[in-house]
């Protein structure tokens, strides 16, 4: 189970009627559930925006440190217009794509190996458990020594961040394939390949996609960190550089884009995951 | 009587003259900052009379009797970090290079430039000894380290422009001095812009280009935050007095060696300063005057910062340079004419010609 789904399905505890007046959310009858959720979800960001606007109007912080929302918006449009943002975004996305490809392949391989073979699990699982304990930041000094500061550093660091969620999800997915299905396979004397393609993979697919989603998120988060280190392009780079030139509006645009792209990743992959969950075997 | 006093006070108040300027109110602390630190972030600086003043405790001596504390900050993040501190009102005086100075003003941060910090620095573009790079043209597509947002970046852009190149023709990577030196020796970056001679004498790097044009090496400056200046003009005067005294001491050739030793506390070796200042008169390099050279150089930096797209808004030059404190100090200490003035072309004006 992943965060968003569990949130969706969770029972929300209402505040105790006796202690607190029960908060009535505005009744939005006539709106589709999606719009309703959107409206509730936007309430807090809008409040933050209002707070931001007020803070700049009343100069709670100097404008050099906290530029006004309208100015940040203008900068966003300007950067979209000049193609500056696109260039940096593409550089970042490219790094993530490579890392997902390499890290994803490795992660899937490790996950499948551990899930399908007891021997592989016995050899790999303890080391893997240890490996998964290190945060990406802890890898960076070693990585710099091994890979220098070039593209290799960025891609390898993000790759490390990707491997763990991929491998864990795959392994768990296969481990949780209902025994009944495996038994059917055994009765039909499926070969290893048949077991993999016709039973393990389809049954574990939703879980694996969950891993893909988490992997992509991890990659995106690691990316920004890695680009802060030493680069000449990418969103993380633009973030630091703009800070050096006191262009806090650009910093905020970068943050907004990082957030938006991350959210987009998440939404798209969640949809994909849901789509595949529909026909996956359930209820065993 | 009481009535008259209160009436006078009210009149003054209504005229917009704060009473404090008459009462000569003192701050509790004077906060000075260097846009840089010694090796490994050591709290020390070198190569300027402000650094000498710090090492010799000249500002502290000046304000000891008033019980005013003096604090010094050394920003590893260099000029850009100084700007953030200024925006958050955490510093009163600072020395800074031309690019962050201009960036600050274009963002509406208010400073008054009260003295030149130093001038005629020498810089070099260096590459690892074994590197095949020989000319500026060879730098195309190579990894070049520079601390972004500092005077070094603007300097690099000026050099590149001379050779018909742009920053985007290179892969320019943001690194501070320590990291850049390490990265050069491991071959992680292909080139660096630096004043250091240390790496050369250790055989780690080779110079491919010497930057000795005073129009490329813009002078550094010392400023006071406008808010502080408005509130405590008498303190600003005394800080400048102490600094002019130090600058005069620092400019004496007999103090050259001692000064290198003081500066070497940064971790930059003595030999580095010796080599850097070789053949120059101390009084030329440590010249505090806000002369024609300074003012035209400042205007040029402002224009270039805009041209290279480091600043986006116009920068107002009017009211920025404030020479009155310096002039007062020179007069009091009978130092008028001690330092030579330089014209817009960085040529020495003939003695007496300025008067």
- Using DSSP's 3-state secondary structure scheme, residue B124 falls into strand
One domain for residues B114 and B223: yes
What CATH number does the domain containing B113 carry? Answer: 3.40.190.10
Is residue B83 assigned to a domain? yes
Looking at this predicted complex, what is its ipTM? 0.71
- Using DSSP's 3-state secondary structure scheme, residue B150 falls into coil
Q: Does A59 touch chain B (CB under 8 A)?
A: no
Q: Is A29 exposed, middle or buried (0-12, 13-18, 19+ CB in 10 A)?
A: exposed
> From the CA of B254, how many Å to the nearest CA of chain A?
40
The Cα–Cα gap between B284 and A252 comes to: 44
pLDDT band at A28 (very low <50, low <70, confident <90, very high): low
- B191-194 and B143-146 beta bridge pairing: parallel
Q: Does A183 touch chain B (CB under 8 A)?
A: no
Cross-chain residue pair B103–A245, CB shorter than 8 Å? yes
Whether the Cβ atoms of residue A64 and residue A250 lie closer than 8 Å to each other: no
* Residue-wise pLDDT tens digits, B243-273: 999 999 999 999 999 999 999 998 888 888 9
CB contacts, 8 Å: A154 with chain B: none
Q: How many domains does chain B have?
A: 2
pLDDT of residue A164: 87
Share of chain B above pLDDT 70, in %: 92
The Cα–Cα gap between B249 and B52 comes to: 9
Looking from the CA of B214 toward its CB, the CA atoms found within 13 Å total 19
- Cα–Cα nearest to A261, from A65, A88, A39: A88
Whether the Cβ atoms of residue B284 and residue B76 lie closer than 8 Å to each other: no
CA angle B114, B120, B121 (to 5 degrees): 100
Looking from the CA of B268 toward its CB, the CA atoms found within 13 Å total 28
pLDDT of residue B126: 93
One domain for residues B231 and B312: yes
One domain for residues B113 and B195: no
The Cα–Cα gap between B176 and B162 comes to: 25
Is residue B343 assigned to a domain? no
Is residue B35 assigned to a domain? yes
Cross-chain residue pair B107–A246, CB shorter than 8 Å? yes
Cross-chain residue pair A244–B148, CB shorter than 8 Å? yes
* Residue-wise pLDDT tens digits, B269-325: 888 898 889 889 999 999 999 999 999 999 999 999 988 888 888 888 888 999 999
Q: Does A102 touch chain B (CB under 8 A)?
A: no
- Using DSSP's 3-state secondary structure scheme, residue B5 falls into helix
Is residue B328 assigned to a domain? yes
Q: Does A245 touch chain B (CB under 8 A)?
A: yes
One domain for residues B158 and B63: no
User: B3 is written with which tokens?
Assistant: 């009535």
CA A28 vs CA A13, A25, A100, B45, B353: distances in Å = 21, 9, 41, 64, 83
Is residue B154 assigned to a domain? yes
One domain for residues B254 and B320: yes
One domain for residues B200 and B223: no
pLDDT mean over B55-81:
93
Q: Does A63 touch chain B (CB under 8 A)?
A: yes
pLDDT of residue B291: 93
* Domain interval for residue B130: 123-211
Of A87-91, A179-183, B45-49, the least confident: A179-183
Is residue B180 assigned to a domain? yes
One domain for residues B127 and B269: no
* Residue-wise pLDDT tens digits, A148-163: 777 888 888 889 889 8
CB contacts, 8 Å: B166 with chain A: none
Q: What are chain A's domains?
A: 85-279 (1.10.3720.10)
pLDDT at B178 over 90: no
- pTM: predicted TM-score of the whole model, two decimal places: 0.75
Cross-chain residue pair A148–B186, CB shorter than 8 Å? yes
- Cα–Cα nearest to A174, from A122, A114, A120: A114
């Amino acid at each position: 189970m992943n965060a968003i789904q569990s949130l969706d399905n969770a029972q929300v505890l209402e505040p105790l009627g006796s202690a607190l007046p029960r908060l009535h959310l505005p009744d939005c009858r006539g709106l589709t559930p999606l719009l309703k959720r959107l409206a509730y979800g936007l309430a807090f960001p809008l409040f933050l925006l209002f707070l931001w606007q007020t803070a700049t109007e009343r100069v709670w912080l100097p404008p050099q440190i906290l530029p006004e929302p309208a100015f940040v918006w203008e900068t966003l449009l300007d950067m979209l217009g000049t193609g500056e943002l696109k260039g940096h975004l593409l550089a970042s996305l490219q790094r993530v794509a490579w890392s997902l490809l390499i890290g994803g392949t490795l992660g899937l391989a490790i996950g499948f190996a551990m899930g399908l073979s007891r021997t592989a699990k016995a050899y790999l699982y303890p080391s893997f458990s240890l490996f998964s304990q290190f945060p990406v930041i802890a890898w960076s000094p070693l990585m710099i020594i091994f890979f220098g500061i070039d593209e290799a550093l960025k891609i390898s660091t993000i790759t490390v961040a990707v491997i763990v969620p991929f491998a864990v999800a795959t392994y768990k997915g296969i481990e949780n394939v209902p025994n009944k299905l495996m038994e059917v396979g055994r009765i039909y004397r499926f070969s290893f390949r048949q077991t993999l393609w016709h039973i393990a993979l389809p049954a574990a697919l939703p879980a694996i996609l969950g891993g893909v989603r988490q992997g992509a998120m991890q990659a995106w988060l690691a990316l920004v960190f890695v680009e802060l280190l030493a680069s000449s392009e990418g969103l993380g780079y633009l973030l630091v550089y703009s800070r050096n030139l006191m262009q806090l509006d650009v910093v905020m645009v970068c943050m907004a884009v990082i957030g938006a792209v991350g959210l987009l990743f998440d939404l798209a992959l969640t949809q994909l995951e849901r789509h595949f969950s529909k026909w996956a075997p359930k209820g065993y | 009587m009481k009535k008259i006093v209160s009436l006078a006070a009210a009149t003054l108040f209504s005229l917009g003259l704060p009473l404090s300027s008459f009462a000569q109110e003192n701050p509790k602390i004077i906060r000075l900052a260097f846009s840089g630190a010694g090796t490994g972030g050591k709290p020390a600086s070198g190569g300027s009379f402000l650094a000498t003043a710090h090492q010799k405790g000249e500002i502290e001596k000046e304000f000891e009797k008033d019980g005013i504390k003096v604090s010094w900050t050394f920003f590893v993040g260099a000029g850009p970090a100084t700007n953030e501190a200024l925006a958050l009102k955490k510093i009163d005086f600072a020395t800074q290079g031309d690019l962050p100075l201009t960036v600050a003003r274009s963002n509406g941060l208010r400073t008054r430039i009260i003295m030149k910090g130093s001038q005629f620095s020498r810089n070099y573009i260096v590459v690892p000894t074994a590197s095949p790079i020989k000319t500026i043209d060879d730098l195309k597509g190579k990894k070049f380290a520079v601390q972004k947002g500092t005077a070094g970046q603007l300097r690099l852009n000026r050099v590149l422009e001379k050779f018909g190149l742009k920053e985007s023709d290179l892969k320019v990577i943001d690194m501070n001095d320590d990291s850049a030196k390490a990265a050069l020796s491991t071959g992680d970056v292909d080139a660096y812009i630096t004043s250091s001679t240390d790496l050369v004498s250790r055989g780690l790097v080779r110079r491919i280009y010497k930057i000795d044009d005073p129009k490329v090496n813009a002078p550094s400056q010392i400023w006071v935050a406008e808010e502080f200046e408005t509130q405590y003009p008498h303190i600003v005067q005394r800080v400048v007095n102490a600094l002019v005294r130090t600058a005069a001491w620092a400019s004496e050739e007999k103090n050259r060696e001692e000064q290198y030793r003081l500066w070497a506390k940064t971790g930059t070796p003595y030999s580095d300063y010796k080599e850097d200042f070789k053949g120059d008169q101390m009084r030329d390099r440590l010249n505090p005057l806000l002369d024609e050279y300074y003012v035209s150089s400042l205007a040029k930096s402002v224009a270039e910062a805009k041209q290279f797209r480091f600043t986006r808004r116009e920068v107002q030059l009017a009211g920025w340079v404030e020479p009155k404190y310096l002039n007062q100090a020179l007069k009091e200490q009978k130092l008028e004419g001690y330092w030579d003035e330089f014209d817009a072309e960085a040529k020495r004006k003939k003695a007496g010609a300025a008067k």
